[in-house]
Each structure stands twice: as C-alpha cells, then as structure tokens.
Amino acid sequence: MNCVDITGRVREALDETYRKFEYELPYFDDPSRAKTFIVVKFWNNTPNARLITLEENTRVLIHGHLDSHEKFGTILIVEQLETLH
C-alpha cells in the first residue's frame, strides 16, 4: 500500500463525498502553474464528512493513500485530517 502526507487547501466540493484539494508542486519553473489539484474523499464513505463541510480555502494536513476512481482517475483517500492556521 502507498502512504501520502500532504498539505494544501480544500477547494470546492464536487458532491457530498468528493472534494477538490489544491497543493503546490515544489521547484516548478513557472510559479503561475505550480498549483495542482487532486480529488479527495474521506476513508469511511460518510456523506458530508468533516472533509466536505470545512470552509473552502481551509489549509489542511492530510494523511492518506492513493486510489483509483472510474470518473476522477487517481484520488486521495483521507485517513487523517488536521486543519492548519
């Protein structure tokens, strides 16, 4: 199994289970294109989990793993979530 620890900002919710997550790529030549998105989902499939109800643009730390999704491609399954101030 894979393991991911990443910081970034939660963006718009796609539905009651999935949300966009924005993270920055290090050492990118063009700073205007350094922001990247991945779809995230809380591990227990609960609709409107804390991940979904957080205010947009909240900075978070995520621990989880990568998975595949028919519609979204590679997604990040969130196992632990901490908000950062």
Judged against a pLDDT cut of 90, whether residue 34 lies above it is answered with no
Beta strand 73-83 pairing with 35-42: parallel
Q: Which are the contacts of 81, defined by CB distance < 8 A and separation ≥ 6?
A: 42, 50, 51, 60, 61, 62, 63
Report the mean per-residue pLDDT for the chain: 92
Contact of 52 with 45, CB cutoff 8 Å: no
| pLDDT score of 32 | 67
pLDDT single digits (tens) 2-21: 999 999 999 999 999 999 99
Cα radius of gyration rounded to whole Å, the chain: 12
Structural domain spans, the chain: 4-83
Rounded distance between C-alpha atoms, residue 56 and residue 45, angstroms: 20
Rounded distance between C-alpha atoms, residue 27 and residue 52, angstroms: 30
The CATH superfamily holding the domain 4-83 is Nucleic acid-binding proteins (2.40.50.140)
